[in-house]
């Protein structure tokens, strides 16, 4: 679907200011922006781990999931992207073959000079010590969070 196919409602023409109920006019159809995401029905890695808590995951499945997560992070890092919120809740699984997808890039950043990347961003339980301390960090903070995911217990 291109932007020409979008149904952008016109602003409220009856108001004196010419704006809608939120105080802003809708963007013109040729300037609209859409976020399209894949619909994943298998839930999160966290819910999968909880579901299998009583019986261990088969070794092959555990290794396959760990490799999928590592490969995904490696791809992001090769593109200079630091996720900054790696956790089991942000790893999605499809219903069929339990393919792992990394999600929630809300706090992700392009990696720059580590001195420019400071501040506690992410989920404290999964944060690297340097991130928690507000010291400069880089993509290695994702690797630390990945290791926490691999040792996760209920």
pTM > 0.85: no
Supply the pLDDT for residue 153: 52
**Out of 12, 20, 30, 85, which one is annotated catalytic?**
85
Whether 12 shows a pLDDT value over 90: the answer reads no
pLDDT confidence tier of residue 5, bands split at 50, 70 and 90: low
Whether 76 shows a pLDDT value over 80: the answer reads yes
Give residue limits of the domains in the chain. Answer: 1-36, 45-150
Give the separation between CA 82 and CA 19, rounded to whole angstroms. Answer: 38
Exposure string for 94-106, b = 16+ CB within 10 A, e = fewer: eeeeeebbbbeee
Render pLDDT for 109-139 as a digit per residue (tens, 0 to 9). 898 877 777 777 888 999 999 998 888 889 9
CATH topology of domain 45-150: Transferase(Phosphotransferase); domain 1 (1.10.510)
Whether 2 shows a pLDDT value over 70: the answer reads no
Q: Is 122 exposed, middle or buried (0-12, 13-18, 19+ CB in 10 A)?
A: buried
What would the two tokens of residue 81 be?
């992207």
Residue range 73-94: mean pLDDT, rounded: 94
- State whether residue 116 is helix, strand or coil: helix
Q: Say whether 85 is catalytic.
A: yes
């Amino acid at each position: 679907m291109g932007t020409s196919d979008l149904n952008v409602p016109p602003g409220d023409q009856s108001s004196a200011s010419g704006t809608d109920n939120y105080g802003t006019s809708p963007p013109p159809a040729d300037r609209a922006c859409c976020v399209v995401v894949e619909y994943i029905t298998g839930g999160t890695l966290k819910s999968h781990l909880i579901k299998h808590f009583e019986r261990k995951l088969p070794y092959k499945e555990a290794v396959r999931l760990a490799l999928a997560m590592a490969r995904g992070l490696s791809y992001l890092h090769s593109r200079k992207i630091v996720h900054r919120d790696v956790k089991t809740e942000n790893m999605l699984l499809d219903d069929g073959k339990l393919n792992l997808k990394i999600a929630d890039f809300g706090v992700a950043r392009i990696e720059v000079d580590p001195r420019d990347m400071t501040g506690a961003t992410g989920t404290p339980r999964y944060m690297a010590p340097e991130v928690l301390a507000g010291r400069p960090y880089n993509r290695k903070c994702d690797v630390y969070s990945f290791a926490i995911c691999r040792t996760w217990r209920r």
